[in-house]
Copies of this chain bind each other. A is one copy, B any other.
Amino acid sequence: METERGGIAMMGLVVGTTETATIEGLSAAGADPEAMWHTPAADAELLAYGDVLEAPAVPVSPSGCPTPALITRAVRELTGFDLVAIDAGLGVETAAPTVALGSEPGRDIRKPTAVPEAASLWERGRRYGRRLPVEQLTLAESVPGGTTTALAVGDALGIDLSVSSSLPENPVDRKRRVVTAALATSGYSPGELEGRPREALAAVGDPVLAVLAGVAAGALESGTALLLAGGTQQLAVAGLLRADGIDRPISVATTPFVVDDPSADVREAAERLGVDLVVTDPGFEEASGPVFERYLAGEAKEGAGMGGALAAATRENVSMSSVRDRITTLYERLNGATTHA
């Protein structure tokens, strides 16, 4: 997709896994722990092809809410934006085309070191982001358990991220307990790693956060217009960039479902980080069907570039009504395919 000035507009979807996701009750990014392990690869395939190939199924939450990658794909079908999936440590085979910047899933953050290669992932990401010859880059993520690692990284850096969740009832207390345990086994007190983003990532982060921060830093260095697409995790990325001394303006594109989450004050967290929030309302209350109902009930909320894709639709003058229609068509196509397969 070309920008108005003739440059390229691209979405970079950073995918990876962390053992942190297997801690019970933290994430809804998959029907069960086994399926969750395939969620990032499935999201990447869905965005690239409009369906899964190697991945066992289109990701759904335990209650059946489909992955936000479905919404991102719907917008991609309407606007044709360029996509690149960046593998930060998938841990499974995928049929999605990927740029491999990492190879190892992150460890459970309650282990002493979660991402031993955090500094090199950041550097590889930075090199890639700096060279990427695009005018406008939207960075997205898919990593189950990612809001918990984001919260932990924020805590290590001394930044309050007021974390959101892909579950309708945000298991904040459970996340806090995991984060407290994670910092303790790594030997740090909250805020002790202020200004040391790579060490915070190594201690309690995940590989996706490390690559996101690196690519973002590189893109900003080379003057690319950057949009971080997502909720809590992208605020953590902004926190990592600030901790690295990067004071350029940072924009985060997200959904109203994240901003309106009563258990998280995302606007306040964004303000503290000097982040400009771009919130695009897809108007789901004006449509009917299982996808819209689940999202309106507070499930999934964001992820796999959903907020960034909605922002792209607005930028390209694609109406939210046609986005909703395409979501319905895609959902029916995928469910039909599942039924008849």
Contact of A48 among B80, B84, B131 (CB under 8 A): B84
Does A256 touch B at the CB level, under 8 Å? no
Which of A18-26, A96-104, A274-282 touches B?
A96-104
1/0 per residue, CB under 8 A from B, across A66-102: the answer is: 0000000000010010001100000000011111000
Contact of A1 among B80, B128, B131 (CB under 8 A): B80
Instruction: For the complex formed, measure the closest distance between the CB of A159 and the CB atoms of chain B, giving whole angstroms.
Output: 31
Does A2 touch B at the CB level, under 8 Å? yes
Residues of B within 8 A of A84 (CB): 48, 97
Does A50 touch B at the CB level, under 8 Å? yes
1/0 per residue, CB under 8 A from B, across A123-142: the answer is: 00000100111100000000
Residues of B within 8 A of A80 (CB): 1, 80
1/0 per residue, CB under 8 A from B, across A41-67: the answer is: 000000011110110000000000000
Cβ contact within 8 Å between A49 and B99: no
CA distance A84 to B49 in the complex (A): 10
Residues of B within 8 A of A85 (CB): 97
CA distance A101 to B8 in the complex (A): 28
Cβ contact within 8 Å between A128 and B95: yes
**A54, closest chain B residue (CB):** B131
Cβ contact within 8 Å between B133 and A50: yes
A-B contact list, 27 entries, CB within 8 Å? A1-B80, A2-B77, A8-B49, A8-B50, A48-B84, A49-B132, A49-B133, A49-B134, A50-B133, A51-B133, A53-B128, A53-B131, A53-B132, A53-B133, A54-B131, A80-B80, A84-B97, A85-B97, A95-B99, A95-B128, A95-B131, A96-B99, A97-B97, A97-B98, A97-B99, A98-B98, A98-B99
- Nearest first, the 4 closest Cβ-Cβ pairs linking A and B are A97-B97, A51-B133, A53-B131, A80-B80
